Amino acid sequence: MTDRSPEPLHRIRLWDPLVRIFHWVLATCVIVTWLWGQINPTGYLTLHFWLGYTVIGLLVFRVIWGLVGPWPARFVHFLYGPSAYARYIAGMPKRKPSRWPGHNPVGGLSVYLLLGVLALQVVSGLFADPEDFINAGPLADDFPGMVKLGTEIHHALAPVILLLVLLHLGAIAFYKVWKGENLVPSMIHGKKVVKGDVPADRIIEAVTEEAA
């Protein structure tokens, strides 16, 4: 799929409701969990823990959905070969919408990275113990040998998550401002104008670039 080919444009149903709900619940939980861990206004991490468990549930769902869900949500759908990455990166500076049917190669990599780092964060949190005698991960007492590593990983990944989320938002702003493509509505209502071949049962209507 290159920017040069005169491919038809279609408005399609792209993101299924579960992926959209997953996304916005995940974003809310990660932001609040991160802030509660960092600021912790009450001294108790109870809210942090419960939202952290919710993130564990969300990640388990996303792994299952990445294997058996609809094609745009499947991990294999946004895993590309080296030439696709090279082509996509070469076309990124162009000031025109990519109209990609799903996560583009670079976006797909960032999704893998975000999900992977979040998984490490929630697992390390289970073993973390700041030794403040109030807050300890639920597995810290049972696996004392893991506490030091768990706490270190949990601390080290906190700024990494902040950086990845800022990059995520930066990429979305880049698409909006530089490429003239607003990706956010498709994560809300699920529909997106895309180019190239797409399954017929997903198509809502054919559109022109001007009408997109």
List residues near ligand HEM by CB under 6 A. 19, 22-23, 26-27, 30-31, 33-34, 37-38, 45, 48-49, 52-53, 55, 62, 73, 103, 107, 111, 114-115, 118, 121-122, 125-126, 128, 130, 135-138, 151, 154-155, 158, 161, 165, 168-169, 172, 183-184, 187
Output 141 or 205, the one with its CB closest to ligand HEM.
141
- Cα 37 to Cα 44, 121, 138, 204: the distances in Å are 9, 12, 16, 44
- Least distance to ligand HEM, CB of residue 129, Å: 6
Sheet holding 191-195, edge to edge: 191-195, 9-13, 203-207
DSSP string, 22-58: HHHHHHHHHHHHHHHHHH-TTS--HHHHHHHHHHHHH
**Phi first, then psi: what are they for 114, rounded to 5°?**
-60, -50
Output 12 or 45, the one with its CB closest to ligand HEM.
45
Name 212's Cβ contacts closer than 8 Å, sequence gap at least 6: 9, 11, 97, 99, 193
- Least distance to ligand HEM, CB of residue 144, Å: 14
- Least distance to ligand HEM, CB of residue 55, Å: 4
- Least distance to ligand HEM, CB of residue 169, Å: 6
Residues in a beta bridge with 194: 10
- Least distance to ligand HEM, CB of residue 115, Å: 6
Output 94 or 148, the one with its CB closest to ligand HEM.
148
